[in-house]
Amino acid sequence: MRLPRYATLAGVGVLALALLPAPPAAAADAQTVTVSTGRSVYLAAEGSRAPVDLAVSTSDGRPLGAAVTVRWTAGGGTATAGADFTADSGAVTFPAGSPSGATRSLAVTVRADGIPETAETVPVTLTAAGATVAARPTVVVDAHGLPYLDRRLPVSRRVADLLGRMTLAEKVGQMTQAERAAVADDPTAVARWQLGSVLSGGGSTPATNTPAAWVEMVNGLQAQALSTRLQIPLIYGIDAVHGHGNVYGATIFPHNVGLGATRDPALVERIGHATAAEVRATGIPWNFAPCLCVSRDERWGRSYESFGEDPALVVSMESVIDGLQGRRSGQLDDADRVLATAKHFAGDGDTDYDEATAAANEGKPWWEQKYPIDQGVTVTDRARFARIDLAPYGPAVRRHDVGSAMPSFSSVDWTSDGLGNPIKMHANPDLITGELKGRLGFDGFVITDWEGIHQIPDPAEPTNSGLTAYKVRVGVNAGSDMFMEPNTAEQFEQLLLAEVGAGRVGMARIDDAVRRILTKKFELGLFENPYASAANVDQVGSAAHRALGREAVAKSQVLLKNSGRALPLRPDASIYLAGRNADDLGNQAGGWTITWQGVSGPDAIPGTSILDGIRQVAPGARVTYSADASAPTGDAQVGVVVVGETPYAEGYGDVGGPECGWCSVPQQEEKSLRLQPADRAVVDKVCAALPTCVVLVVSGRPQVLTDQLAEIDALVASWLPGSEGAGVADVLFGRRPFTGRLPVSWPRAEEQVPINVGDADYRPLYPFGWGLRTDRGRDRLAALAADRPQLGAALAPAAWHADGSLRDAPRILDRLGGQLRADRGNAALVDAVLAVARDAAQDAVVRGDAPENWAALLADAEHAQLSGDPVRAFTLLVRVAR
Mean pLDDT, rounded, for 76-83: 94
698 contacts 643 by C-beta, under 8 angstroms: yes
Q: Is 572 exposed, middle or buried (0-12, 13-18, 19+ CB in 10 A)?
A: exposed
Q: How far apart (Å, rounded) are the C-alpha atoms in residues 271 and 241?
A: 11
Q: How far apart (Å, rounded) are the C-alpha atoms in residues 811 and 30?
A: 95
pLDDT in tens, 417-436: 989 999 999 999 999 999 99
pLDDT in tens, 628-660: 999 999 999 999 999 999 999 999 999 999 999
pLDDT band at 874 (very low <50, low <70, confident <90, very high): very high
Q: Is 619 exposed, middle or buried (0-12, 13-18, 19+ CB in 10 A)?
A: exposed
Residue (of 258, 225, 299, 239) closest to 41 by Cα position: 225
Residue 745 in this model has a pLDDT that exceeds 80: yes
pLDDT in tens, 358-370: 999 999 999 999 9
Mean pLDDT, rounded, for 312-328: 96
- Which residues, other chains included, contact 338 with Cβ-Cβ below 8 Å and sequence gap of 6+? 276, 279, 280, 284, 285, 286, 287, 324, 325, 332
Q: How far apart (Å, rounded) are the C-alpha atoms in residues 471 and 454?
A: 7
Active-site residue identified among 322, 336, 583, 650:
650
Residue 2 in this model has a pLDDT that exceeds 70: no
Residue 24 in this model has a pLDDT that exceeds 70: no
pLDDT in tens, 181-197: 999 999 999 999 999 99
- Which residues, other chains included, contact 473 with Cβ-Cβ below 8 Å and sequence gap of 6+? 499, 504, 505
pLDDT in tens, 254-286: 999 999 999 999 999 999 999 999 999 999 999
CB atoms under 10 Å from CB of 598, counted, come to: 30
640 contacts 621 by C-beta, under 8 angstroms: no
- Which residues, other chains included, contact 370 with Cβ-Cβ below 8 Å and sequence gap of 6+? 357, 360, 361, 657, 658
pLDDT band at 790 (very low <50, low <70, confident <90, very high): confident
pLDDT band at 135 (very low <50, low <70, confident <90, very high): confident
Mean per-residue pLDDT over the chain, rounded: 94
pLDDT in tens, 554-609: 999 999 999 999 999 999 999 999 999 999 999 999 999 999 999 999 999 999 99
Residue ranges in 690-788 assigned as alpha helix (H): 726-732, 777-782
Active-site residue identified among 278, 389, 449, 523:
449
Q: Does residue 493 have an active-site annotation?
A: no
Instruction: Report the SS3 class of residue 109.
Output: strand
Residue ranges in 366-457 assigned as alpha helix (H): 382-388, 393-398, 429
Instruction: Report the SS3 class of residue 413.
Output: strand
Least reliable range by pLDDT among 465-479, 705-719, 771-785: 771-785
CB atoms under 10 Å from CB of 535, counted, come to: 10
Residue 15 in this model has a pLDDT that exceeds 60: no
**Alpha-carbon distances, residue 484 vs 283, 305, 406, 575 (angstroms):** 20, 20, 10, 51
Mean pLDDT, rounded, for 154-162: 98
**Alpha-carbon distances, residue 101 vs 23, 38, 62, 104, 209 (angstroms):** 19, 11, 10, 10, 23
- The answer to whether the bond into 454 is cis (omega within 30° of 0) is no
Residue 231 in this model has a pLDDT that exceeds 60: yes
- What does DSSP assign to residue 71? E
Least reliable range by pLDDT among 203-207, 537-541, 724-728, 800-804: 800-804
Q: Please report the beta strands in 113-153, taking only residues with DSSP state E, as ranges in sequence order.
A: 120-128, 132-133, 138-141
Sign of CA dihedral 741, 744, 749, 750: negative
pLDDT band at 29 (very low <50, low <70, confident <90, very high): low
pLDDT for 489 equals 98
728 contacts 567 by C-beta, under 8 angstroms: no
Q: How far apart (Å, rounded) are the C-alpha atoms in residues 509 and 499?
A: 12
Q: Does residue 142 have an active-site annotation?
A: no
pLDDT for 501 equals 98
- Backbone Cα Rg of the chain: 30
Percent of the chain at pLDDT > 70 equals 97
pLDDT for 10 equals 37
143 contacts 119 by C-beta, under 8 angstroms: yes
- Which residues, other chains included, contact 635 with Cβ-Cβ below 8 Å and sequence gap of 6+? 574
Distance from the Cα of residue 497 to its chain's centroid: 33
